[in-house]
Structure 1
């Protein structure tokens, strides 16, 4: 039964990713804003929904610490696994705005999270409110400051320019629903399998559950890359990491204090999150410059494999 949940979950996530990409491109036409902004907002929020729902549910059930394991593990998986695989499918061009805005903001949120947790081994409501307010400021800024760029000149399905608002809303609803239920089932199957193997909940949180809730990003990004929607692929991943910290942990800690119950999160896992976040800029400066291709993608996946090995090794 666990294997069935895994398969059904993956199918739903692929379907959800397809509908999200369609609606995102249609929105970029309808709202006359760049695709990178759509990736950083609509797609990022929808693909971060599983993390948010899992974390909120954990907070209400008296296990808010699961939120940290889930978000840190998911942010690592988004870059090491998802970006790596996406780059293998199709080389990703790094836009200049990435260096000026999105990457520094991701590092700022990551650094703030580390400081808040290191300071007193917990994330309190005030700190969560700061993270969430920062996310709102970031969203408002990128929407107001976005300018037409070469990304908008890439060939896309022109038929999406005349899609009705109602159809776009339906696509978004189908995509978000498929991603939610797909993630739930995939996580359920993965957790049952891991538990039967005698793996601890902390390890499950930072690996199995994190990978499960990152599959929406994988589905949306791989489909976008295959369709040459590279701006959406990179924007979706970076935006999702920012959303995970700002909205998922921000909102959850505003509901209930999130304690650090697993020391390895601060002494190991969060440093891996920072390393992966920094690696994108390093890869962007290596030949071929401003591009993440197959070899760099393989490197990210290999590094992620090393992280998973160390986690299970304990």
Structure 2
């Protein structure tokens, strides 16, 4: 019972902390002169991945590498199959040209690279360094390219939530610090509850990471993506998911592996293959003009339910 209390309390605080961090970070970035497009592609995309970040880093610090790796692999599968599936059922999604041309291929590429790195059931510090260098390069290129593009559409998409000058510098910094503080506390509760739950159920920590932890830490992506779809910005929903998946692999696992080499023996190659297949599932959408139909959304959702059922069946 106590493990569920920790999990639920941690999950609620993870969501709250992510919302505070995104709001403060976006307002701070706009106050410092970044345009809304840059904010959307970096602060918001990375901010919604902050639960995955603090949970995986906390797990790595506690020498629970199985939860760290399971969280990221599971979240990447969940982001595409569950979140985009649900969003497409609400309304067909269409991706922007930039996402089709660059972001989706990068996401597929980093998924394949991660699967190759994990094939020997170990993510070493040098490999973590390579991944982290990748997120640095990706962020620099994203900011550079975003600054060169028109910001009109981005102002329309993000301006209503984060109008420039709407928040003072001091309040923005305070929200960022508060958000990070809440996330740190939440991660301790969430990881602690997940470890106890895994032991009580008699399943591996990797399975808990792939299911309970992955879905829980993906809630900010689901919330922001659904809001974007309801507002008619389906491309923002796709961009949020794709950007988060890239950050999960390069940024989160990069940092986690630099802290502590990760033993991934609890993760099966079926899980790695599922992650790569989920990334490749974005190719048909790219070829069809960037549209994910309701039918395709239903297929993604049922595929995720089938994968989850298979995971649970392995523990029985």
TM range (shorter): 0.7 to 0.9
- Cα gap change, 1:172/1:232 in structure 2, threshold over 3 Å: closer, same or farther? farther
Question: How do 1:1-314 residues align onto structure 2 when only pairs under 5 Å count?
Answer: 8=9, 11-12=12-13, 15-16=16-17, 19=20, 22=23, 26=27, 30=31, 31-35=33-37, 37-118=38-119, 120-146=120-146, 147-148=149-150, 151-152=153-154, 154=156, 156-157=159-160, 160-163=163-166, 164-173=168-177, 175-176=179-180, 196-262=200-266, 264=268, 267-286=269-288, 289-314=289-314
Q: Distance in 1 between matches of 2:97 and 2:216?
A: 31
* C-alpha displacement of 1:246: 1.1
Contact 1:34 1:148 in 2 (8 A): no
Cα distance in 1 between the residues matched to 2:162 and 2:67: 43
RMSD of aligned alpha carbons = 3.1
Mapped to 1, the partners of 2:225 and 2:150 lie a distance apart of 22
Instruction: Check whether the contact 1:16–1:176 (CA below 8 A) recurs between aligned residues.
Output: yes
> Structure 2: how far apart are the matches of 1:184 and 1:114?
28
Cα distance, 1:94 vs structure 2: 0.1
Q: CA deviation at 1:252?
A: 1.8
Shift of 1:182: 5.5
Between the aligned partners of 1:231 and 1:20, the Cα distance in structure 2 is: 23
Q: CA deviation at 1:98?
A: 0.8
Tell me the secondary structure at the aligned position of residue 160 of structure 1. coil
User: Normalising by the residue count of structure 2, what TM-score does the alignment of the two structures yield?
Assistant: 0.82
Q: In structure 2, what is the Cα distance between the partners aligned to 1:137 and 1:52?
A: 19
Question: How many Å apart are 1:131 and its aligned residue?
Answer: 0.9
Partners of 1:14 and 1:56 in 2: how far apart? 17
Partner SS state of residue 53, structure 2: helix
Using the TM superposition, name which of 175-184 and 79-88 deviates more: 175-184
Unaligned residue ranges in structure 2 (runs of 5+): none
CA contact (8 A) 1:25 1:160 kept: no
Q: Which deviations, in whole Å up to 9, do the C-alpha atoms of 1:107-165 show, x marking residues without a partner? A: 221111122222x4311111111111111001000111121166326465288233133
Structure 1 gap ranges (5+): none
With over 3 angstroms needed to count, the CA separation of the structure-2 counterparts of 1:60 and 1:15, relative to structure 1, is closer
Cα distance change on mapping 1:259 and 1:2 into 2, 3 Å = closer
Question: What is the CA–CA distance in structure 2 between the aligned matches of 1:262 and 1:189, rounded to whole Å?
Answer: 19
Count of residues in Structure 1 that have an aligned counterpart in Structure 2:
308
2:139, 2:36 → 1: CA distance? 14
